[in-house]
Amino acid sequence: MKQSFFSEIIVTLIGLTVLLTLSLYVTNGYTKISFTNTPSTATHQINSPDKVNPINYVDSGSIIYRLSDSSRMTQIALDTKVQMDITGTVNRVRVEQTFTNPSNEWVEGVYVFPLPEDSAVDHLTMHIGNQIIEGLIKEKIEARKIYQAAKKEGKKAALIEQQRPNIFTASVANIPPGESITIAIEYQQIVLIDNDQFSIRFPMVVKDRYVPGTEISTPHNALGLSPNTHRVTDASEVTPPSDPDVARPVSIDIHLKAGFNPASIKSSHHLINTVDVNQHTKHISLSQTAEAEHDFELVWAPETTSQTELAIFTQKKDGDHYLMVMATPSKEKIFEPNQIPREVIFIIDSSGSMSGKSMKQAKKALIQAINRLKRTDRFNVIDFDDKFSPLFKAAMPAILANKSRATSFTLALSADGGTEPLEAIKYAFTSRKENAADYLRQIIFLTDGQVANEHEIIDTVRQYIKQDRLFTIGIGSAPNTYLMTKLADYGKGAFTYIGKVSEVAEKMTSLFAKLESPALTDIKVTLPSYINAEQANGVIPDLYRGETITAVFKLNKLPASLEITGKTSNGLFRKKINVSEASPATGISVLWGRRKIEKLTDHYQSLWDDVEKELGRIEITKLAIDYHLVSKFTSLVAIDVTPSRPGLEHLATKAVTKKSDLSMFTPKKVMYLAQTGTNASLLMLIGLLVILLASLLNRKKVLCSR
């Protein structure tokens, strides 16, 4: 009996050990725990792998533990709330990001996120319970030092840095176990006006980017997926890690004061609810919380009869005056169809990032464009991935046989390989025929723009453009609009965004209305001689049918009037504007500062001399600090002066991953445990072990007493 008793104890202990081990090493080394924003008190039990409801709500998130080779990666949860206040042509945006840490260690979260390329980021607040800490603009190196010192001292801290004009990084240090920290950033942007429609776009995700070049030294603590290369020296900063199982819910609320009663309000890619607050104010929200997978776009339009051709806004701040002018030339008088034959060169991206819906959209758009060509036109098609292939050696007449050949060429394209557009762009420019001057030469570039070497491509266009015009078409759910817009600016063309196949016909028709009409060129805004005025961008780009002239000035005083002039194929365009009719507004100074910094930064990127580059850096830094704006050389930092992390506690740095395409990964088996901020499963099993041992000892005592 004694032997049987001890055998029973041994078997029981072995069984409990196996059970405990299985609880820690889950199938495929993967355990997923869902939680609410108060993980320490959450009690909701998930019983089915197919039902993970909490991550579908904006106030929830997920934490993932990866158990492989005795290492563990903690996934910080992230929720995003967006509030937009649109007044006339200015959009003021507040983006709240809540970092939640349900683990048992102190963590630092690092998150790479997108913003519109024209956003003027000027405000940061860090929310810790009821405490609100305001961020300060500092030179980037100084801001990083302040942040690192606070992190080391155990203080809660937040840092916002610009990696690209449309890519930012948020770092949040010393998030306590089981708690949350919310940071809020604010920015301002101009509403886009095109073809009598007003629109704004909010990017939702940083797509995977192709990084060319030879690997160079990369910081040991870099969290990006790609190492730095000699062509993209900051690749590790703009390639956030991906996880297919991580939801990134986003809620969006918009107050729209258009200045008129919109005839239509629509979102191209998301379901929205619209509520009339009053005659001129609408409240717009998403019908359901969106996943960060597709850029959000809102479009509204006035009644035809209420359309205005002019909007003027003024602001006085710190003794200076700021003026914003938006004017739309009459289509009938200025943009009559052009009879000059055209040479159109199409460049289409067939790299791996274009696979699926993007490739389908691009093919349909290209075929429609080819079919719009006239017999008097000539054209060529250049396909590229990591290499390029032209359909013809040079542009050929747009006769039926050549169009059919081009259509077959397009339909046969498949998306694979890397994204190397440089040589294709060079070929488009250098394959001009001797009589190219007899044609209106236009280059149309169809791509998602998912590359990390933007400045290399922009410099190439700037070098080769000459008298050509470059039009860009952004394809897919989240194209790189910074690259697309900048290329169109330098190419004196226009940018068109196509987010889904159903938009191709409408968007391409609008684009061809621009291609087939003359541009308004050499646009100037003339003020009285007694006015000292500085325009933010320096020059106004060429204007096409349906577009709007936008100019922002800093002045010593407001003039009584100003005049806009430009050249058309039919002669001189002239428009006199009475400034006394201007409406007072806020935020124009911020927009002027943002555009001025953009102009200076573009110039800085083109410099080679070290002395000139340093002078450029100093000028940009000073301007950004004066206007309290995040830039290439300035950042926003917020510090809680009270230390919160005990000195002996370890701080773990974690990259907050972005959600990626599920089709790229094989499904993993997942075990779902009770939602809690503690090691509930481990404690439960240990407790069970103690109870059973006590029971066995008690049994031994009973047997021995017999």
The answer to whether residue 52 scores a pLDDT higher than 50 is no
Task: Give the span between the Cα atoms of 520 and 333, in whole angstroms.
Answer: 11
Task: Give the span between the Cα atoms of 127 and 7, in whole angstroms.
Answer: 58
Bridge pairing between strands 310-317 and 583-584: parallel
The answer to whether residue 140 scores a pLDDT higher than 90 is yes
Give the total residue count for the chain.
706
Half-sphere exposure of 325 (CA within 13 A, CB side): 28
SS (H, E, C) 310-364: EEEEEEEECCEEEEEEEECCCHHHHCCCCCCCEEEEEEEECCHHHCCHHHHHHHH
pLDDT at 370: 94
- Would you place residue 425 in the very low, low, confident or very high pLDDT band (cuts 50, 70, 90)? very high
Kindly report the pTM of this predicted structure: 0.79
Instruction: Yes or no: say if 554 and 332 are a contact pair by the CB < 8 Å rule.
Output: no
Task: Give the span between the Cα atoms of 639 and 133, in whole angstroms.
Answer: 7
Q: What residues pair up with 447 in beta bridges, in sequence order?
A: 474
* Residue closest to 580 by CA, chosen among 596, 562, 606, 553: 562
Instruction: Yes or no: say if 426 and 461 are a contact pair by the CB < 8 Å rule.
Output: no
- Would you place residue 331 in the very low, low, confident or very high pLDDT band (cuts 50, 70, 90)? low
pLDDT tens, 537-596? Answer: 878 888 888 888 889 999 999 999 999 998 887 778 888 888 888 888 889 999 999 999
Task: Give the span between the Cα atoms of 56 and 79, in whole angstroms.
Answer: 11
Task: Give the span between the Cα atoms of 98 and 600, in whole angstroms.
Answer: 34
Task: Give the span between the Cα atoms of 107 and 172, in whole angstroms.
Answer: 9
| Percent of the chain topping pLDDT 90 | 47
Tell me how far CA of residue 66 lies from CA of 29, 40, 100, 389, 628, in angstroms. Answer: 6, 21, 18, 44, 41
- Would you place residue 78 in the very low, low, confident or very high pLDDT band (cuts 50, 70, 90)? confident
Q: Which of these ranges, 50-59, 108-117, 121-130, 139-148, has the smallest mean pLDDT? A: 50-59
pLDDT at 37: 33
The answer to whether residue 693 scores a pLDDT higher than 80 is no
Bridge pairing between strands 634-643 and 30-36: unpaired
H or E, element range at 505: helix 504-515
* Residue closest to 447 by CA, chosen among 571, 547, 358, 538: 358
The answer to whether residue 397 scores a pLDDT higher than 80 is yes
pLDDT tens, 79-94? Answer: 899 999 999 889 999 9
pLDDT at 646: 80
Q: What is the CA 245 to chain-centroid distance, rounded?
A: 20
The answer to whether residue 419 scores a pLDDT higher than 70 is yes
pLDDT tens, 13-31? Answer: 555 555 455 444 443 333 3
Q: Which token pair is 520?
A: 């308004």
Per the prediction, the chain carries an average pLDDT of: 81
Instruction: Yes or no: say if 662 and 148 are a contact pair by the CB < 8 Å rule.
Output: no
CB crowding 88-124: b at 16 or more within 10 Å, else e = bbbbbbbbbbbbbbbbeebbbbbbbbbbbbbbbbbbb
Task: Give the span between the Cα atoms of 636 and 125, in whole angstroms.
Answer: 9
- Inter-axis angle of helices 454-464 and 422-430, nearest 10: 10
Residues 6+ apart with CB under 8 A from 603: 616
Instruction: Yes or no: say if 89 and 588 are a contact pair by the CB < 8 Å rule.
Output: no
Half-sphere exposure of 544 (CA within 13 A, CB side): 21
Q: Which of these ranges, 108-117, 327-336, 431-440, has the smallest mean pLDDT? A: 327-336
Q: Which residue has the higher pLDDT, 691 or 369?
A: 369
pLDDT at 643: 82
SS (H, E, C) 519-540: CEEEEEEECCCCCCEEECCCCC
Half-sphere exposure of 42 (CA within 13 A, CB side): 24
Q: Measured between alpha carbons, how far apart are the two ends of the chain, in Å?
A: 12
Residues 6+ apart with CB under 8 A from 182: 96, 97, 98, 99, 126, 127
The answer to whether residue 56 scores a pLDDT higher than 90 is no
What is the SS3 assignment for 297? Answer: strand
Could you give the angle at the alpha carbon of 344 between the alpha carbons of 340 and 350, nearest 5°? 165
User: Look-up: residue for tokens 């939801």?
Assistant: 247
Q: Average of pLDDT values for 253-257?
A: 95
pLDDT at 39: 33
The answer to whether residue 673 scores a pLDDT higher than 50 is no
pLDDT at 41: 30
pLDDT at 32: 33
- Would you place residue 40 in the very low, low, confident or very high pLDDT band (cuts 50, 70, 90)? very low
Bridge pairing between strands 396-397 and 388-390: unpaired
pLDDT at 686: 55
* Residue closest to 593 by CA, chosen among 534, 638, 541: 534
* Residue closest to 139 by CA, chosen among 622, 601, 607: 622
pLDDT tens, 159-178? Answer: 999 999 999 999 999 999 88
**Phi, psi dihedral angles at 529 (to 5 degrees):** -65, -25
Residues 6+ apart with CB under 8 A from 159: 143, 144, 147, 169, 170, 171, 172, 635, 636, 637, 638
pLDDT at 61: 26
CB crowding 146-168: b at 16 or more within 10 Å, else e = bbeebbebbbbbbbbbbebbbbb
| Percent of the chain topping pLDDT 70 | 80
Q: What residues pair up with 33 in beta bridges, in sequence order?
A: 63
